[in-house]
Chains A and B, each alone.
Chain A
C-alpha cells in the first residue's frame, strides 16, 4: 500500500530556503558582529542584502577585490547581474508612477502559459455546492488562479436559483499585496519564504457575492407618515439590495511527500515543467528582465561602483553599518538618474507580472510532480433567510493523466449558532460526492472542451431551517412577528444529486460551464427537480502581478 505522509507542497521548498548563503566568498567573520542587511529599513539595502552580507563577510575574512568579484558585480549597477535586485528595490516607486500605462499596455500574460492552465482538470472557480448560484457539485482539489472571477447561475442542492459572482485568489498573493513583500528570488526565497511556502502559497481564498436574491432587514419605524391605522406599526421590512456576501471559502493543499533527489521524482519534475510550461514562463520573464537590464546598465553608465572604496568602507567597519550607508548613497544617486528614464516603468511593471506568473506555474509544476494528497476546505456560508453554516470538507483527487481525473469530497456542515430552545442540533448535514472530469477535445490547445459527471449524496438529521425575520406578517393575519422565528422546511434524510457538465475553455483562460442536474429534492422543497446551471469564469492572472508589483519588495 502506498504510504503517504502529510507534507505540504512547500516543505521541500522551504527547506532550501533555510540554507546558507553562497559559496562564492571566503570565510566569514563572527556572525554576531555583523548586522543583517536583510533587516535594514531601506528598500535598496534589503533588496541587495544577500550580496552586502556576502561582501561584508568576505572583507571581514580578508578577501581581496578579485575574490569578492561576484558580490561586487551584483552590487554594481553598470553590471547586468545587478539588474534583478534593482527591479526589486525600485518597483514600489516606479509602479506607483507607471500604474496606468502598465495596465493598458503591458498586462498581458503569455498565451502559452494560460493554455497550460486550461488543461488542468482540478481548478475550482465556482462557489461550493450549497450556494444558490453554482455549477460545481464537487469541489476540486487544485489551486485557483492567481486572480480569477466567475459568474454562476443555477442551484444544485438549494431550492432557490440565484446568481453569484466569485472572486478567487491565492493567499500568498494577498500577503504580498498587503505587506509589500515580493522578493526577486521568485521561488527559493529566504526570510519569510518559509511562512509563505508552508502556509500561504498552498492556501486559496474565494468570496462569493449573491447578485440575484434581494435580501431584506427589519428597521424600527419612527411614526406614521400618513393615513390612520388602528394598529401601530413599530417596525418595517426594508430591502437591502443584492450583492450580499454569501460565502467565503479557504482551501489548503497538502502534497504527497517527495524526495527531490530521487530519479523518479526528477523525471516527474521534468515532465511537470514541460506540461505546465514553466520554461515558457522563465523565457517570458527573461525577456522582460533583459529589457530592464539594458536600460539600467546604460542609464547608470556614469555610476560605476568604486570597488576599492566600497571594500575600504567595509574594512573600516566590520559590523556592516558603514557598508550599508555607503551602498545606500551609491544606489540613491544612481537610481535617481535611472528612474528618470520614462520607459523603465512599464518594463519593471512587466517584470513584476512575469515574476508572479512564473512563480505560479512553478508551484503548479510542483503540485503536478508531487501529486496532491488532500485539500482541506472551509466554507463560511450565509444562505439567504437560513442560518449561517460552517462547512468542513476533505477533497481527494486521483489523476489518470490522459484518462481524466476522479475527485472525491467528504464534508460536514455545522450550524453557526443554535438558538435557545432549538429542536435541532449543531450538525446540519454530512455529504459525500465524486466527480469524473476528462478533457474531450483540444488537448494541448487553447480551445478545449471538458466533460464532467458527478454524483452527490447528502444526509441531514433534521429538515432545513428557515429564518422568519422579525416584522414578517403571519400568513392569513395582519399580525407581525415581533422577534422573528425559525421553522423547519423540507424533509430530513437523504438528498441525491447527479450532474452532467460540459465546459468550454476558450483562449485567455475563459471557461464556460454548462450543466444539467437532477435531484430527488432540494433543501427547502420536496419532490425531484431537474435544473440547469451555467457560468463563466475569467483568469485575471495578468493583473495579479500588477498588484504585487505595486508593492515594495
Chain B
C-alpha cells in the first residue's frame, strides 16, 4: 500500500472518524490493523455509522469493518472522513466505496510523517 492507493490519508497521530453510509457497523465491529502490531479495537458509534481512529499510525494501516447491510439496499457504501479532532485526514478522490453486501469492508489508511 502507499499514499497513492490509500482510501484515507492523514497526518500521523491524527484523531478522526471514518463514516460509512448505507450499511451499519456492528457493535465491536471495527478493528485497526497494523502490520507487526496487535489489532486494536475501535470505538463504534451508537448508530453504527462511524468509527473513531484515535491515532493514525505512520505509514500503512487498515480498518476492518463488520458491516450489516439492510434489506433492499442496492448502493455501495461510501466511505468518508467525519470529524477530524486532531491532525489532518482526507478521503481519496474519487471517494472510496465498499461493495454492496460485502462484509467485512476494508478501509486502507496512510499516515504521513514519522
Measured CB to CB, the residues of A under 8 A from B are 12-13, 15-16, 19, 22-24, 50, 66-67, 69-70, 72-74, 76, 78-81, 83-84, 184-189, 258, 260-261, 266, 269, 273, 278-280, 282-283, 285-286, 289-290, 293-294, 298, 358, 362, 366, 369
Contact = CB atoms under 8 A, between A and B. Distances in A.
A140 B92 CA distance: 51
B99 A185 contact: yes
B74 A273 contact: no
B97 A72 contact: no
A23 B97 contact: yes
Interface in B18-57: 26-29, 31, 33, 35, 39
B71 A12 contact: yes
Given A80-B108, A278-B68, A369-B71, 19 more contacts: A13-B72, A16-B71, A22-B76, A24-B76, A24-B97, A67-B94, A69-B5, A70-B97, A185-B101, A186-B103, A188-B74, A279-B26, A282-B29, A283-B26, A285-B103, A286-B66, A289-B64, A290-B33, A362-B69
B62 interface: yes
B97 A283 contact: no
A34 to B, nearest CB: 19
Interface in B43-96: 62, 64-76, 92, 94-96
Nearest to B78: A23
B33 A294 contact: yes
B102 A290 contact: no
Given A16-B72, A286-B31, A79 B108 contact: yes
B74 to A, nearest CB: 4
Contacts of B31: 286, 290
Contacts of B99: 22, 50, 74, 185
B65 A286 contact: yes
Q: Give the 7 A-B residue pairs with the shortest CB-CB distance, closest first.
A: A188-B101, A260-B72, A279-B26, A282-B66, A80-B106, A19-B74, A286-B104
Interface residues of B, number: 39
Contact of B26 (A72, A186, A278): A278
Nearest to B98: A81
Given A69-B94, A79-B5, A185-B101, A290 B39 contact: yes
Contact of B71 (A13, A189, A279): A13
B26 to A, nearest CB: 3
B96 A70 contact: yes
A282 B101 contact: no
29 contacts: A12-B71, A13-B71, A16-B71, A16-B100, A19-B75, A19-B100, A23-B75, A23-B76, A24-B96, A66-B4, A70-B96, A74-B99, A79-B108, A80-B64, A84-B102, A185-B100, A187-B69, A188-B100, A260-B73, A279-B26, A279-B66, A279-B68, A282-B68, A283-B26, A285-B103, A285-B104, A293-B64, A293-B106, A358-B103
Contacts of A366: 71
Nearest to A19: B74
Nearest to B33: A290
Given A23-B75, A80-B62, A261-B72, A282 B97 contact: no
Contacts of B70: 260, 266, 269
A184 B99 CA distance: 11
Contacts of B101: 16, 185-189
B67 A282 contact: yes
B104 A12 contact: no
A358 B66 CA distance: 11
Nearest to B100: A188
Nearest to B97: A24
Contacts of A188: 69, 73-74, 100-101
B54 to A, nearest CB: 19
With most chain A CB atoms within 10 A of its CB, the pick from B70, B71, B96, B104 is B71
B72 A12 contact: yes
Contacts of A186: 101-103
A369 B70 CA distance: 11
Contacts of B26: 278-280, 282-283
Contacts of A50: 99
A22 B64 contact: no
With most chain B CB atoms within 10 A of its CB, the pick from A22, A24, A286, A362 is A286
